[in-house]
Amino acid sequence: MSPHDVVTTPPSGVSVALSGNLLADLGAQLRPDQLDVSDSGLDLHARGESWDVARRPDVVVYPESTDDVQRVIALAYATRTPVTPVAVNSSLGGHTVPIDGGISLDLTRMDRIVEIAADDFLAVVQPGVAYPRLNHALRATGLFFPVDPGAEASLGGMASTNASGTLAVRYGVTRDLVLGLEVVTPTGQVIRTGGRAPKSSSGYALTQLYCGAEGTLGVITELTLRLVPRPEAVMGARVAFADVRGCVDFVTEVIQSGMPVARCELLDAAAIRAIRQHLGLALPEVPTVFLEFHGDAPTVLAATELALALAAEHGAAAAEQATDPAALAALWHARHQAYYASVAVHPGMANVITDLAVPVSRLTEVIDASLAAVERNGVPGCLIGHVGDGNFHLNLFYPPDDHAAHDRVEAVYAEMVELALAVGGTCTGEHGVGLRKLEYVRAEHGDAVDVMWAVKDALDPAGIMNPGKKLPRR
Ligand SMILES: Cc1cc2nc3c(=O)[nH]c(=O)nc-3n(C[C@H](O)[C@H](O)[C@H](O)COP(=O)(O)OP(=O)(O)OC[C@H]3O[C@@H](n4cnc5c(N)ncnc54)[C@H](O)[C@@H]3O)c2cc1C
């Protein structure tokens, strides 16, 4: 489905406009302020970030407990009503658009930090807790939750997309940091997966299955999260090169050298220009690598010095160290604003954000070929990359009513995915599939898609959970 499609019929095959009875049944189970059928409420839940297709749900439901979720899902299962979970709605591929209508299940009111068990390095939270709030609550413990997607995302949404961010190169992705879950299954059962032990070989790895399922296999109602110690010392650096290739070659060497890299990000000149315009920062308008090292003080100092020496060897145009917290905060503020800055400097344009991940040794060739495709097709855009773990985004823009321009963006996208798959990479390193990448899933996974459908059919026999997302149509 392309952003130009107007959704008039249910694309996934699940039927049902919300029946009057279901609305009455929901009303019997929940307070009136937990149901919203107002125009503004339905409009607010009709679209996601970076995806043009809009489709209103028939009702927005705000559960406040696992019990509420369980009753809603039991009713939805009995009436074959589609359910689309949503939290902060910052996902970038139409994941939360209720393309078949039905219930938009808004989990933002389930926002309690249930427990912080610092001795066991874990926290238990409801799914609507945003990760910055958890980290704020952890500030006195010396621990933190290290996944940091740029948006103020919810931990339930992050588990469901297997989100990562700037720190994944050192601490792993969300899936690596979830010890256990409480889930309401698509048939209305409440189950627990995993536990509180740091490791387990028991049963099938259901926790890992639900992480990254994009709400297609059930609703996460509680998460037990692994926490990590705050590093004793942190140091950063900003290194600029005349071209992107110089940056990527430098990054590849930094990663391969085994330095304690905690963050390794790349912005091209267009992204830096957007940040300069949007935030008024005086950054040199050239491709720039943002680095951070975590560890003990001598180790991070040695790593920073080594990185700067390597940068000089690679002919860096400029290099600057960030040693104190204020300089580090300024450095990462610029990086975290890159997406919104690039959108802000393209007023009135629609955007498509790509999300390839490839083996680090193939990064230079894939980025080079991707930028060549962008140039050949005359598409405006910029590069924002978590290059330390082989992941990069091109944010590509087109006028929303210009079908030819949109087709050029899609052509670039398709070419990029082909490049990534040819070197053993993936069409999505962290954003997930949603609606955006459906057409690439079979090219990446082949017959394994049939096994994925078998899992989906077994766990969601009525096909009500976030229909039309994650797996290509059969
Ligand atoms: C500026 C910006 C920067 C970003 N940077 C990054 C980045 O660096 N790394 C990255 O990984 N992502 C990034 N993202 C994307 C986004 O923040 C992540 O995908 C995030 O995990 C989404 O969380 P959310 O709370 O917004 O979830 P939503 O968008 O509300 O939902 C995401 C998906 O999870 C499902 N879902 C939500 N809650 C539940 C639940 N409790 N149970 C079951 N399913 C559920 C939804 O159905 C949907 O499929 C960025 C987005 C923006 C706008």
Domain 113-229 identical in fold to domain 233-432: no
Is residue 12 pLDDT above 70, yes or no? no
Is residue 456 pLDDT above 60, yes or no? yes
φ, ψ for residue 130, nearest 5 deg: -80, 145
Integer CA distances (angstroms), 110 to 34, 66, 137, 222, in order: 12, 9, 16, 9
320 or 444, which is more confident: 444
Q: What is the pLDDT of residue 51?
A: 72
Q: Is 46 in the pocket of ligand 1 (CB under 6 A)?
A: no
Ligand 1, atom 4, lies closest to the CA of: 150
pLDDT digits (tens, 9 = 90+) for 168-225: 999 999 999 999 999 999 999 999 999 999 999 999 999 999 999 999 999 999 999 9
Report the separation in Å between the CA atom of 157 and the middle of ligand 1, taken as the mean of its atom positions.
5
CATH topology of domain 233-432: Vanillyl-alcohol Oxidase; Chain A, domain 3 (3.40.462)
Q: Is 154 in the pocket of ligand 1 (CB under 6 A)?
A: yes
Is residue 158 pLDDT above 70, yes or no? yes
What whole-number distance in Å separates Cα of residue 418 and Cα of residue 396? 17
Please list the residues that pair with 52 across neighbouring strands: none
Report the separation in Å between the CA atom of 433 and the middle of ligand 1, taken as the mean of its atom positions.
11
Q: Is 108 in the pocket of ligand 1 (CB under 6 A)?
A: no
The CATH label, of 3.30.465.10, 3.40.50.261, 3.30.930.10, 3.60.15.10, for the domain at 113-229 is: 3.30.465.10
The answer to whether residues 209 and 303 touch, using CB atoms and an 8 Å cutoff, is no
The pLDDT-based confidence of 18 (bands split at 50, 70, 90) is low
Q: Is 86 in the pocket of ligand 1 (CB under 6 A)?
A: yes
pLDDT digits (tens, 9 = 90+) for 268-296: 999 999 999 998 888 889 999 999 999 99
Other Cβ atoms less than 10 A from the Cβ of 321: the count is 17
Q: Which tokens is 10 given?
A: 């249910």
Q: What is the pLDDT of residue 19?
A: 62
What whole-number distance in Å separates Cα of residue 104 and Cα of residue 46? 9
Ligand 1, atom 23, lies closest to the CA of: 157
The answer to whether residues 316 and 275 touch, using CB atoms and an 8 Å cutoff, is no
Is residue 99 pLDDT above 50, yes or no? yes
Closest atom of ligand 1 relative to the 110 alpha carbon = 41
Is residue 1 pLDDT above 90, yes or no? no
The answer to whether residues 93 and 432 touch, using CB atoms and an 8 Å cutoff, is yes
Question: Which residue from 474, 473, 465, 450 is spatially nearest to 95, judged by alpha carbons?
Answer: 465
Is residue 431 pLDDT above 80, yes or no? yes
User: Residue for token digits 């995915």?
Assistant: 417
Q: Where are the domains of the chain?
A: 113-229, 233-432
Residues sharing a CB contact under 8 Å with residue 223, sequence separation 6 or more, in sequence order = 124, 125, 126, 127, 155, 156, 159, 178, 180, 181, 182
Task: Taking residues 295-304, report their average pLDDT.
Answer: 94
The answer to whether residues 424 and 76 touch, using CB atoms and an 8 Å cutoff, is no
